[in-house]
Structures are given as C-alpha cells and as structure tokens.
C-alpha cells in the first residue's frame, strides 16, 4: 500500500511540459523529439520524467523523459534541428521568431515519449 501511495504522491509532484496543440500528433508519433525554449523553461533536467500537455486545453496526453537540455543560438539552428522538430528550417525559424521575437539564446530540450 505504501508503494501505491508513494506512486500517487510522485504523480502529483511531476512537472508538466506544455506544447501547442498543433504539435500533439507529431509528439505522439515520435516525429518531434526536441523543443526549443527560452530561459523560463530551462529548469528541465536530463533524467526527469514529466507530463506532456496541450497549452490550449491543458489536456495531458502522456509522459516524456528529458534526455538533455543544452544551449543553442538561434543563428546556429540547422537542418538537424528542423528534422527533430519535423519541420523545414524556414518553418522552425519562423515559429521560434513568432514565439520568441527577439531571442538569440535558446534551450534545446531533447526528449522521448514514454
């Protein structure tokens, strides 16, 4: 019984990373395996297991393991980043500029769906 209550406590204490709803299908299909965030979301750490949810609805649709968190400059974004985001490099840079208009220093969070 202690195990169950601890697991329940752990669930209640797990962080959540939110994505725009339009990314849900790619994440569930394993096609989107990184996300580029600003400093406000640089607190995630490799090894963490976190809930994944839609920003718009708060609907949680799974859990991901954080594999790595590393700095990347906007100007250094390349084709590999685009492929890991399941989009073209132009689409990726446009998206990032829409979300973070002035940003130069990003945090690349690599994750895998569990």
Residues binding ligand LG35MI24 (CB under 6 A): 18-20, 23, 35-37, 55, 99
Among residues 7, 18, 24, 32, the one annotated as catalytic is: 32
CB of 103 to ligand LG35MI24, least distance (A): 10
Locate tokens 């609907």: which residue? 59
Give CA–CA dist 17/90, Å, rounded.
Answer: 24
Q: Is 32 a catalytic residue?
A: yes
Give CA–CA dist 12/9, Å, rounded.
Answer: 5
Q: Is 35 a catalytic residue?
A: yes
Active-site residue set: 32, 35, 85
């Amino acid at each position: 019984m202690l195990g169950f209550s601890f697991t329940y406590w752990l669930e209640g204490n797990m962080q959540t990373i939110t994505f725009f709803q339009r990314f849900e299908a790619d994440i569930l299909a394993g096609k989107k395996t990184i996300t580029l965030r600003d400093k406000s979301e640089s607190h995630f750490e490799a090894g963490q297991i976190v809930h994944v949810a839609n920003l718009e609805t708060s609907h949680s649709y799974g859990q991901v393991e954080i594999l790595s968190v590393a700095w990347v400059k906007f100007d250094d974004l390349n084709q590999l980043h685009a492929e890991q985001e399941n989009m073209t490099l132009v689409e990726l840079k446009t998206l990032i500029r829409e979300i973070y208009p002035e940003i130069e220093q990003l945090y690349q969070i690599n994750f895998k769906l569990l």
